[in-house]
């Protein structure tokens, strides 16, 4: 479990850096500077596409599904619904990865074309690039952004399925940080988008506390049975 969380944190850090840098370049892209940015932009988008499909592997929280069901009053239908949400988000990330790899060459070529048009008609070049960015956003980036949006309600909903006690509080805080961090990632609020790193480790601490609690209860029951 510890290794899974560490891997997830490392993957999120890479996603955070590549998504933030690529989106900042993407937003500021203009026909006048496109030739100085598209090489770096293409590199960041390709790295983002690759890391997203790896990050999209169901998060380590799924490994605790049985414990969540056993130690809370959540019904099976709610656990099933939550699991489906955890699956949909990674699937959208995978689709976004494929769309980026497919649409990126065309988008970069349109960027070069806008630079050529800019020499004769700057306004027409900006309109052309605006349409190119709109197509790329709707055909590729949208899937990744919707996936990150889905992580927010999914982790927030997860708060109602955690165990009681100190372990539950830790997991509760972890889910808040992870969910909010993905939301801040989408809307590019720098600083707050590192919250998932704190959230994953806080959630892990809660899981360890829950595990110790389960072991303690199991040993207590075993000792009672032996005494009988």
The pLDDT > 90 percentage for the chain reads: 32
| pLDDT exceeds 90 at position 186 | no
Measure the CA–CA gap between 14 and 51, rounded to whole angstroms. 7
Helix (H, G, I), strand (E, B) or coil at 1: coil
Measure the CA–CA gap between 171 and 182, rounded to whole angstroms. 17
Predicted confidence band of residue 203 (pLDDT cuts 50, 70, 90): confident
Name the more confident of 165 and 58.
165
Measure the CA–CA gap between 1 and 8, rounded to whole angstroms. 11
C-alpha 122: how far from its chain's center? 37
Are 140 and 133 in contact by the 8 Å Cβ rule? The answer is: no
Mean pLDDT is lowest, of 65-74, 121-130, 180-189, for 65-74
Q: What is the pLDDT of residue 221?
A: 65
Start-to-end CA span in the chain (Å): 36
Measure the CA–CA gap between 106 and 126, rounded to whole angstroms. 17
User: Using one digit for the tens of pLDDT, what is the confidence trace for 88-119?
Assistant: 888 888 898 899 999 999 999 999 999 999 98
Extract the runs of DSSP E, i.e. beta strands, from 107-182.
Answer: none
**Tokens encoding 124:** 């027409």
Kindly provide the b/e burial profile for residues 42-70, where b requires at least 16 CB atoms within 10 angstroms of the residue's own CB: bebbbbbbebbbebbeebbbeebbebbbe
Are 210 and 71 in contact by the 8 Å Cβ rule? The answer is: yes
Predicted confidence band of residue 66 (pLDDT cuts 50, 70, 90): very low
Kindly report the backbone phi and psi dihedral angles of residue 5, in degrees, each rounded to the nearest multiple of 5, phi listed first.
-70, -40
Long-range CB contact pairs, 217-225, < 8 A, 24+:
none
Measure the CA–CA gap between 180 and 178, rounded to whole angstroms. 6
Question: For the chain, what are the domain ranges?
Answer: 2-227
User: Using one digit for the tens of pLDDT, what is the confidence trace for 113-166?
Assistant: 999 999 899 999 999 999 999 999 999 999 999 988 888 887 777 776 665 677
Name the more confident of 10 and 136.
136
């Amino acid at each position: 479990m510890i290794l899974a969380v560490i891997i997830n944190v490392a993957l999120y850090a890479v996603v955070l850096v590549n998504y933030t840098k690529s989106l900042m370049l993407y937003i500021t892209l203009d026909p006048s500077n496109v030739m100085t940015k598209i090489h770096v932009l293409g590199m960041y988008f390709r790295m983002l596409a690759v890391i997203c499909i790896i990050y999209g592997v169901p998060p380590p929280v799924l490994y605790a599904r049985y414990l969540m069901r056993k130690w809370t009053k959540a019904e099976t239908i709610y656990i099933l619904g939550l699991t489906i949400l955890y699956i949909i988000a990674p699937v959208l990330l995978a689709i976004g990865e494929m769309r980026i790899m497919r649409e990126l060459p065309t988008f970069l070529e349109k960027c070069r074309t806008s630079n050529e048009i800019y020499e004769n008609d700057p306004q027409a070049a900006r309109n052309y690039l605006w349409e190119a960015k709109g197509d790329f956003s709707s055909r590729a980036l949208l899937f990744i952004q919707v996936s990150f949006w889905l992580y927010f309600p999914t982790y927030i909903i997860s708060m109602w399925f955690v165990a009681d006690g100190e372990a539950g509080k830790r997991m509760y805080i972890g889910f808040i940080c992870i969910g909010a961090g993905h939301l801040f990632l989408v809307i590019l609020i720098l600083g707050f988008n590192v919250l998932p790193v704190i959230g994953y480790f806080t959630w892990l601490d809660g899981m360890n506390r829950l595990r110790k609690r389960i072991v303690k209860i199991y040993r207590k029951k075993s000792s009672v049975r032996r005494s009988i």
